[in-house]
Structure 1
Amino acid sequence: MSITYKWGSDFDNTALNALHAEGFDHAPHQTDWRARLERHSLGWVCAWEDSSLVGFVNVVWDGGVHAFILDTLVARQHRSRGVGASLIATAAREARAAQCEWLHVDFEEHLSPFYFDACGFKKTTAGLIAL
């Protein structure tokens, strides 16, 4: 398995919608990811195996020093092989290159070992309001 990681990589909306549906266990949507990412993101990382999209992470930001991880996705058959950690490492490197000082993430409890152990995030106090 040879995976390549590309910052700001071109992608097909249908492929990303399918990966998102698999990752978050819902029916595929018709989201225009390109328009969304260009409007709100510092950048994104795509993981490719040959010409197949097998991973993705979105890096949104505040226009200053804070970047935020959203939509970390790895195709089911590629999970537990370091693809997700490599996506995050690439995202962190690129956010640092863009002069960001902080990379934030929030996640469900069962993902703690991934984000804390595999990716190196530190525990912080944060708040959330469900809208």
Structure 2
Amino acid sequence: MGGVDRRVITYAWRGDFADPEVNALHAEGFGHPVLDIGWREQLHGHSLGWVCARDEGGVLVAFVNVAWDGGVHAFLLDTVVAGRCRRQGVGTELVARAVRGAREARCEWLHVDFDDEHRGFYREACGFRGTGAGLIAL
């Protein structure tokens, strides 16, 4: 598989996107069929911001949503990087841009939940520390 040169990836806080491109990237990254989710409406109504990463051809290759409580707590959701761009620093930079956006909005905390397989990425590569948390499957 060919990789992508990191130098040609551009990142945009609250970058423009179309719902179908986020739906396709999300389906690839999370291994489900392409769904018809209205990301634009959802994000504009509930999120502090988001980060879009695009390759030199303008193709969306990574995305993360930064939801928030309207105050000092922000939450990373739906972090996804296209398979051809993984393990090249794209996800780490994506999260760094999300951290910067939340910090500039004067949030005091940025939370993220993740499966154990992603512990190294979030803790070592991105700098999150462990906390006690609880979860109820609904």
1:66 Cα deviation (Å)?
0.3
CA distance in 2, matches of 1:75, 1:101: 30
CA distance in 2, matches of 1:97, 1:15: 27
1:53 Cα deviation (Å)?
0.2
Structure 2 equivalent of residue 87 of structure 1: 94
CA distance in 2, matches of 1:108, 1:40: 24
Query: SS state of the match for residue 90, structure 1?
Result: helix
CA RMSD of aligned residues (A): 0.5
1:93 Cα deviation (Å)?
0.5
Alignment of 1:57-68 (within 5 A): 57-68=64-75
CA distance in 1, matches of 2:112, 2:40: 22
Question: Structure 1 counterpart of 2:32, which letter?
Answer: H
Structure 1 residue 25 and structure 2 residue 31: aligned? yes
90, 93, 97: which one aligns with 2:104: 97
Structure 1 residue 16 and structure 2 residue 22: aligned? yes
Unaligned runs of at least 5 residues, structure 2? none
Which stretches of structure 1, 4 residues or more, deviate above 6 A after TM superposition? none
Question: Structure 1 counterpart of 2:28, which letter?
Answer: E
Q: Report Cα offsets for 1:36-71 as digits up to 9, x if no partner.
A: 101110000000112100000000000000000000
Alignment of 1:107-122 (within 5 A): 107-122=114-129
Structure 1 residue 70 and structure 2 residue 94: aligned? no
Query: SS state of the match for residue 5, structure 1?
Result: strand
Unaligned runs of at least 5 residues, structure 1? none
1:12 Cα deviation (Å)?
1.4
Query: SS state of the match for residue 35, structure 2?
Result: coil
